[in-house]
Each structure stands twice: as structure tokens, then as C-alpha cells.
């Protein structure tokens, strides 16, 4: 038996081989990701054809995704223009908050699944009345790992890192930054009370994603929300004609 990996080959064999179970696992994962990429591309095209701007929000638990949405909806002041897909492992607390803020909401309870995917989002959208909707927000499950590989049909993906989480997150979770269109450093009102280096976090993020836009904001105080809304409008896909 191999003393390194436990397979039935000689103890002296090299590790250039792939074990059957490992190869099968890799094949299944690649198939799942390929299927999701196709579903995401179809969903993105469908939303684009309807003139709906889809924006994905990803971040760890407590990064401030729902609070940012509440503040954003309050400043947009466009009744009926926003719909939200809320992803949580359990409960509808966030969905109720967003509904109270005036958006149409579809809740996805993922159970043990640690991320949304395009298939789940597509089915959630089927329950929404999208007439007159201009923006679809997709708030992912709080997680900096699993959502990285699964597109959800969004046109842009925004990553949130709160100052309470630590400025090392881009270095520790590079995959989530690699697919980002914007990094929001949130809860800036807490900066006087925590050890967080904004410049250091920005530098780490741009080592992963050169040129990545970074904004610092507080949904509680309103700091940086003007810049956030400006970025959102400036990078939105062209409006549908006709």
C-alpha cells in the first residue's frame, strides 16, 4: 500500500497518477460548473433582453449586504423599479427587510447549500412580477468561498468586505475578488474602533484583480453612498430601446 495516499500500489510509486475517485470527483465538479455557466449565460441574456440590470452582491456574513440594499433602495426613490433575490441558508428575515424597503422579493432558502447558482436564481425569478423592473439584485448567501465559482446571471458582481472582518480578506479569499467588478469596504463608521488598513486592503485586492474599483462607505451614516450610486449608474448596461 502507498504510504502517502493509501492506494493499492507499491509504496514507492510516484504521484503522477490520478485516483479513480479523485478523477470522478473532478469530472463531476467540472460538469456542474459548466452547466451553471451555461445557465448563467442564458439567464443573463434573458434579463438583458428585458432591459433589466442584474447586480450580484457577495460577501461574508455580516458584511452589510442587506443594509446596503436598504440604503440604496431608499436613495433610488424609484417605486417598482427594483426586485431582489434573497439567498439565505434559513429564514426570511432579510427578505422581509427588503420588502419593507419597497422592492419585490423572491426568497431562496438554500439549507445546507452555501451559495446560490443560476438554476436557483432562475426559478426564483419565475415567482416575481418583473413588469417595470429595471434592476434585479441578487444577494448571495453570506460566504466568501463558495459563491466565487458560481455565476448567477448577474451583469456585475460586487464584493463587500466590512472593516470589522479584517483587511487581510482579499489575500485569504482571492477567488471571490478575481471575479469582482467592484469592492465595497463597508461599515466605515467603525474605522475609529477597529484595526483596519483601508489602503492595505485595497492594495491586496488589486494584486488579485488589477485596476479593481474600490469604494469605502457606511450605509448607516451615508458616507460613500453617492459614489456607490454613481458607479452603479455609470457601469449599467445600455437601456433597452423600444
In this prediction, residues 126-151 reach a mean pLDDT of 95
Res 30: pLDDT: 66
Q: b/e per residue, 102-131, with b = 16+ CB within 10 A? A: bbbbbbbebeeebbbbbbbbbebbeeeeee
Judged on CB neighbours under 10 Å (0-12, 13-18, 19+), 166 is middle
Could you please state the CATH topology (level 3) that the domain comprising 21-234 is classified under.
Answer: Rossmann fold (3.40.50)
Res 19: pLDDT: 54
Q: Please state, rounded to an integer, the average pLDDT across all residues of the chain.
A: 89
Decide if 105 contacts 84 (C-beta within 8 A).
yes
With cut-offs at 50, 70 and 90, classify the pLDDT of residue 239.
Answer: low
Tens-place pLDDT, residues 155-183:
999 999 999 999 999 999 999 999 999 99
Tens-place pLDDT, residues 185-198:
999 999 999 999 99
Distance in angstroms (rounded) separating the CA atoms of residues 98 and 88: 13
Helices (H) and strands (E) in the chain, counts: 8, 7
Backbone angles phi and psi of 49, in degrees to 5: -65, -25
Q: What's the predicted TM-score (pTM) here?
A: 0.86
Decide if 55 contacts 48 (C-beta within 8 A).
no
Res 28: pLDDT: 53
Domain ranges of the chain: 21-234
Res 221: pLDDT: 96
pLDDT of residue 12 exceeding 80: no
Stretch (H or E) spanning 71 = helix 65-76
Q: C-alpha grid cell for residue 206?
A: 488589486
Decide if 179 contacts 170 (C-beta within 8 A).
no
In this prediction, residues 86-91 reach a mean pLDDT of 92
With cut-offs at 50, 70 and 90, classify the pLDDT of residue 238.
Answer: confident
Angle among Cα 136, 46, 212 to the nearest 5 degrees reads 55
With cut-offs at 50, 70 and 90, classify the pLDDT of residue 78.
Answer: confident
Decide if 99 contacts 134 (C-beta within 8 A).
no
Alpha helices in 90-216, H assignment, sequence order: 93-100, 118-125, 169-172, 174-178, 198-208
Distance in angstroms (rounded) separating the CA atoms of residues 155 and 146: 19
Res 2: pLDDT: 43
Q: C-alpha grid cell for residue 82?
A: 427594483
Distance in angstroms (rounded) separating the CA atoms of residues 40 and 125: 13
pLDDT of residue 106 exceeding 70: yes
Res 25: pLDDT: 64
With cut-offs at 50, 70 and 90, classify the pLDDT of residue 233.
Answer: very high
Amino acid at each position: 500500500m502507498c504510504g502517502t495516499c493509501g492506494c493499492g500500489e507499491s509504496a514507492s510509486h510516484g504521484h503522477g497518477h490520478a485516483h479513480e475517485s479523485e478523477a470522478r470527483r473532478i469530472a463531476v465538479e467540472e460538469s456542474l460548473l459548466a452547466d451553471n455557466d451555461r445557465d448563467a449565460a442564458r439567464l443573463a441574456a434573458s434579463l438583458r433582453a428585458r432591459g433589466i440590470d442584474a447586480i450580484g452582491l457577495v460577501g461574508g456574513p455580516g458584511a452589510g449586504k442587506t443594509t446596503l440594499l436598504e440604503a440604496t433602495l431608499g436613495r433610488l426613490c424609484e417605486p417598482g423599479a427594483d426586485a431582489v433575490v434573497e439567498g439565505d441558508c434559513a429564514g426570511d428575515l432579510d427578505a422581509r427587510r427588503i420588502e419593507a424597503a419597497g422592492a419585490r422579493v423572491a426568497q431562496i432558502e438554500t439549507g445546507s447549500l452555501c451559495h446560490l447558482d443560476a438554476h436557483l436564481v432562475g426559478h426564483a425569478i419565475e415567482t416575481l412580477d418583473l413588469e417595470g423592473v429595471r434592476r434585479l439584485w441578487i444577494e448571495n448567501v453570506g460566504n466568501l468561498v463558495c459563491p466565487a465559482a458560481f455565476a448567477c446571471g448577474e451583469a456585475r458582481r460586487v464584493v463587500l468586505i466590512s472593516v470589522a472582518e479584517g483587511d487581510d480578506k482579499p489575500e485569504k479569499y482571492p477567488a471571490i475578488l478575481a471575479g469582482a467588478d467592484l469592492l465595497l469596504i463597508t461599515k466605515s463608521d467603525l474605522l475609529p474602533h477597529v484595526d483596519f488598513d483601508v489602503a492595505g486592503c485595497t492594495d491586496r485586492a488589486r494584486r488579485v484583480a488589477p485596476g479593481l474599483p474600490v469604494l469605502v462607505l457606511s450605509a448607516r451614516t451615508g458616507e460613500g453612498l453617492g459614489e456607490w450610486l454613481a458607479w452603479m449608474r455609470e457601469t449599467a448596461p445600455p437601456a433597452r430601446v423600444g
